[in-house]
Amino acid sequence: MNAYDSARMRDAMAVHGYQETENPSEADILLLNTCHIREKASEKLFSEIGRLNEFKKARKQEGKDTLIVVCGCVVQAEGAEILKRSHPVDIALGPQNYHRLPELVAAYNRKNGRVLLADFPSDSKFDYLPKTKATSASSFLAVQEGCDNFCTYCVVPYTRGCEYSRPASDILKEAQELVSTGAKEIMLLGQNVNCWHGDGASDLGDLINQLAQIEGLERIRYTTSYPSKITQNLIDAHAKLDKLMPYIHLPIQSGSDVILKAMNRQYTAKSYEEIVAMFRKARPDIAVSSDFIVGFPGETDDDFAQTMEVVKRVRYASSFSFKYSPRPGTPAALMKNQVPEDIKTKRLMILQAELLKQQQEFNSQTVGKILPVLLTERGKKEGQLVGYTPYLQGTHVSLPDTFLNQIVMLEITDASATSLTGVKVD
């Protein structure tokens, strides 16, 4: 979502004649887009502001003005503190206001002071953004924002606001714009993407069915899903739509019902496993990934053991796992029985060892198979491209740039826990 937001801010500024640069010393605007999910995000931000301020001071000596703009969720949570602690920041705006960036830059006046805009406007920012263009064959498309679940560890409801779903007509229009400018794959985005309930379709499954009718769109993905909000319609879409990739990211966070309740996750470990089984029945080859938090307040050795049991039963193709970190303003930060850091570290190492083993096993199963790979990136080595299989496995292949942004049939020759290697099949 943050990558999508950054791209849309770039699009908005391009309409006014601005171009992106990789060199901070030549930038009239230095823009930082932030995320508040992980611990120490604000401290990393202040460190980065200090680094960028050196470019600002150097340009000032040359008689050039530079604006430092901070956007995103850290602003929503700590905007006033950012302006208080970091004088180099000129404009700070939250994630629901980034469509106003061109207006704020144009109107900025140093005599009138710095600007903070972190409210939740009643109208949608998407109504004010320019047409989007694909920058590669794989593009993001935000369909839903915000969250109404209020998990006790999470800041998203406070920084992104309540759930909002874009109308199906707007989504289909943007998808067609992306395809017409080169996109072959679209990843639908949302904090709880399967909670989408916009006008023009009954649910996310229905929306995907409509998107699948777009000529030239060859792959559809979506992330991130909330387990208890999965519909049969969405599961059925995986069974019948070839364009919908056989991959589902379904965060469980913990395998202990006690911890899930403390987290205010609205499902049990058993119901989660039943949902996974339904997806696998509909699409037997589907790859399942997940998120895990270890060391949540009150988590015992037995709670952690239950998580490990679920992991071994479900078996994941990939995963993201983290130690719990208290986020200011969330209920979990005030809970008693905070787990000591050394115990969290030990549990995370045990969990990640098992998840890495499973990821290696999943990838190894593809060796010898021929898979369609969408090549979207240049590799680190000359003459190497990187792309993704239908199961979202990163895959390296030695091919010239003429194959970039194409779907190529590759025979998989080698697999590690993190990537595949293939050769083109003639």
Is 259 found in the same domain as 160? yes
- The pLDDT of residue 391 is 98
From 92, 117, 142, the end of a domain falls on 117
From 93, 117, 141, the end of a domain falls on 117
Per-residue DSSP letters for 358-380? HHHHHHHTTTT-EEEEEEEEE-S
Mean pLDDT of 292-319: 98
Number of structural domains (the chain) is 3
Q: Which of 80-89, 191-200, 256-265 comes out lowest in average pLDDT? A: 80-89
Q: Which CATH number do you get for residue 386?
A: 2.40.50.140
Is 162 found in the same domain as 17? no
- How do strand 370-378 and strand 384-388 relate by DSSP bridges? antiparallel
Is 293 found in the same domain as 232? yes
Checking if the pLDDT of 188 tops 90, the result is: yes
- The pLDDT of residue 84 is 87
From 59, 92, 117, the end of a domain falls on 117
- The pLDDT of residue 355 is 98
Is 171 found in the same domain as 133? yes
Q: Which CATH number do you get for residue 272?
A: 3.80.30.20
Instruction: For the chain, give the number of residues.
Output: 426
Is 360 found in the same domain as 224? yes
Is 208 found in the same domain as 134? yes
Checking if the pLDDT of 401 tops 90, the result is: yes
- The pLDDT of residue 353 is 98
User: In the structure, what pLDDT confidence band is assigned to residue 122 with cuts at 50, 70 and 90?
Assistant: low
User: In the structure, what pLDDT confidence band is assigned to residue 412 with cuts at 50, 70 and 90?
Assistant: very high
- The pLDDT of residue 111 is 64
Q: Which CATH number do you get for residue 27?
A: 3.40.50
Is 164 found in the same domain as 139? yes
d(CA 167, CA 147): 17
Condensed to tens digits (0 to 9), the pLDDT of residues 279-295 reads 999 999 999 999 999 99
Is 355 found in the same domain as 379? no
Checking if the pLDDT of 26 tops 70, the result is: yes
**Average model confidence (pLDDT) for the chain?**
93
Condensed to tens digits (0 to 9), the pLDDT of residues 203-255 reads 999 999 999 999 999 999 999 999 999 999 999 999 999 999 999 999 999 99
Q: Spell out the long-range contacts of 59-66 with Cβ–Cβ below 8 A and sequence spacing 24 or more.
A: 59/25, 64/28, 65/28, 66/27, 66/28, 66/29, 66/30
- The pLDDT of residue 189 is 96
d(CA 153, CA 292): 12
- The pLDDT of residue 39 is 66
Per residue in 214-242, is it b (16+ CB within 10 Å) or e — as a string? beebbbbbbbbbbbebbeebbbebbeebe
Percent of the chain past pLDDT 90, that is, above it, reads: 76
User: Residue 188's beta-bridge partner residues?
Assistant: 141, 222
Is 285 found in the same domain as 152? yes
Condensed to tens digits (0 to 9), the pLDDT of residues 35-48 reads 877 667 777 888 89
Is 194 found in the same domain as 73? no
Is 306 found in the same domain as 171? yes
**Residue 400 CB neighbours (<10 A):** 9
- The pLDDT of residue 118 is 82
- The pLDDT of residue 61 is 94
- The pLDDT of residue 258 is 98
**Residue 268 CB neighbours (<10 A):** 16
Percent of the chain past pLDDT 70, that is, above it, reads: 97
d(CA 411, CA 377): 19
User: In the structure, what pLDDT confidence band is assigned to residue 307 with cuts at 50, 70 and 90?
Assistant: very high
- The pLDDT of residue 361 is 98
- The pLDDT of residue 5 is 87
Is 309 found in the same domain as 230? yes
Q: How far is CA 31 from CA 38, 57, 104, 205, in A?
A: 20, 16, 13, 36
> Who wins on pLDDT, 230 or 6?
230
- The pLDDT of residue 234 is 98
- The sign of the dihedral angle between the CA atoms of 401, 407, 409, 410 is positive
Tell if the pTM clears 0.95, that is, is over it: no
User: Residue 222's beta-bridge partner residues?
Assistant: 188
d(CA 407, CA 213): 19
Condensed to tens digits (0 to 9), the pLDDT of residues 142-180 reads 999 989 999 999 988 888 888 999 999 999 999 999 999
Q: What are phi and psi of 315, to 5 degrees?
A: 65, 115
- The pLDDT of residue 128 is 67
Checking if the pLDDT of 129 tops 90, the result is: no
Q: Domain limits at 265?
A: 125-364
